[in-house]
Amino acid sequence: MAPTGSLQVAISHQIVALQTLRLLQQQRDEEDDLLYSQQVSAAPGQPGPRENGEKGGGPAVAKAEGAGDCGQCSLGRVVESTSQLIRVEQTILKPLHQELGFPIYLKDSVEFRNICSHMALQPEGHSFDQDLNAAFQCLKTIIKKLIHSLLSLPPDPSAMANIALRQILRNLLDRKP
């Protein structure tokens, strides 16, 4: 495969992964909404949703609001970081790669796509959490390898890409799942 095409192939794999992650996120949001409404309606003696649309108080509501937050936040962070990475690859790295060329590791993007596909098949629980952690680690690896690849380029043309990738990595690492 031509070196200039390898980045586009990697981006394509990551786009498929992002689409899968977004579907998972939407599905989990719908499940959380359903869980919340079931817990609120099943809580005896606890106020339900108020007429103005605000959530009612009480322990059942507090518990429902916290249901799935940790996993959903982690999934949301992986989704957001993946989206940012694809934007940087398409807008900054692609022209840079076409002009100067640098190593692209397709295996990592394929693995990321496969992990996200596998995660979509997993029910809630331990396996999903393991896959989410594996996706997080793989995304981190992709970003680190891109940063490392940019080190072989002159600093002037690669500086903006390097800064953007490091910011995505910093955001991802600051918010570990």
Residue by residue, DSSP assigns 74-124 as HHHHHHHHHHHHHHHIIIIIHHHHHHH-----HHHHHHHHHHHHHHHHPPT
User: Is 162 buried (19+), middle (13-18) or exposed (0-12) by CB count in 10 A?
Assistant: middle
pLDDT digits (tens, 9 = 90+) for 66-91: 334 444 558 999 999 999 999 999 99
Give the whole-number percent of the chain exceeding pLDDT 90: 58
pLDDT digits (tens, 9 = 90+) for 116-158: 999 998 867 778 889 999 999 999 999 999 999 999 999 998 9
pTM of this structure: 0.76
**Confidence at residue 21, expressed as pLDDT on a 0 to 100 scale:** 95
* CB contact at 8 A, 65 and 22: no
pLDDT digits (tens, 9 = 90+) for 9-26: 999 999 999 999 999 999
pLDDT digits (tens, 9 = 90+) for 46-72: 554 444 444 444 433 333 333 344 445
- Which among 25, 2, 123 is positioned nearest to 72, based on CA atoms? 25
Q: Report the alpha-carbon distance of residue 122 to residue 127 in Å, rounded.
A: 6
